[in-house]
Amino acid sequence: MTDNGTLNNMLTQNWENKVILVVEDIDTNKIFFDAALRKTKAKILWAIDGKEAIEMFKQNDVDLVLMDLQLPIMDGYTATREIKKINPDVPVIAQTAHVMSGEREKCLEAGCDDYLAKPIRLQILMDTLSKFLNT
Ligand SMILES: [Mg+2]
């Protein structure tokens, strides 16, 4: 197998039976997630604020949440706490543009299972999702 083949295998996961809720308010970030996740065949649900995220989580059988922390109406920390009250077993991966110290702790304290710093690299996104979805 060529190096290229190995890389493709790492990036191309089959998650056709998985439902991923992406909570993101910025269009350009949505485009990135759509491009990255489309190939995996996962069902993608979109929410643009924390309140909508909680509603969608209640109404669907979600396998994983990708949660932006800076959101309108209700922030990602609050939404994560609410989601974890509903089902603590569903992994919530936070994504944030803020890299200040203390952010990671705040994030874990809210119940997030992992943390991605923006700009998110494709390989890191796929590695992190694989950790939680390929079980
Ligand atoms: Mg945001």
Q: What is the SS3 assignment for 43?
A: strand
- Residue 47 has a pLDDT of 98
pTM for this structure? 0.90
At 11 the pLDDT is: 61
Number of neighbours of residue 45 by Cβ within 10 angstroms? 18
User: What tens-digit pLDDT sequence spans the chain (135 residues)?
Assistant: 445 545 554 567 899 999 999 999 999 999 999 999 999 999 999 999 999 999 999 999 999 999 999 999 999 999 999 999 999 999 999 998 776 777 888 888 999 999 999 889 999 999 999 999 987
Distance 34 CA to ligand 1 centre (A): 16
**Cα 71 to averaged position of ligand 1 atoms, centre (Å):** 5
* CA-angle at 42, arms to 49 and 110, nearest 5°: 40
Kindly report the backbone phi and psi dihedral angles of residue 133, in degrees, each rounded to the nearest multiple of 5, phi listed first: -95, -25
CA distance 23 to 112: 13
What are the structural domains, with CATH classification, of the chain?
19-133 (3.40.50.2300)
**Distance (Å) from CA 5 to ligand 1 centroid:** 34
pLDDT at 12: 75
**HSE (CB half, 13 Å, CA atoms) of 43?**
7
Distance 62 CA to ligand 1 centre (A): 21
The predicted structure's pLDDT at residue 1:
42
CA 9–ligand 1 middle distance (angstroms): 30
Find all residues with CB under 8 Å of 60, minimum gap 6, and list them.
19, 21, 45
Cα 130 to middle of ligand 1, angstroms: 23
Distance 94 CA to ligand 1 centre (A): 11
The one-character DSSP state at 118 is S
Other beta carbons within 10 Å of 40: 20
CA of 23 to the centre of ligand 1 (A): 9
**Centroid of ligand 1 to alpha carbon of 12 (angstroms):** 26
What is the per-residue pLDDT for 110?
94
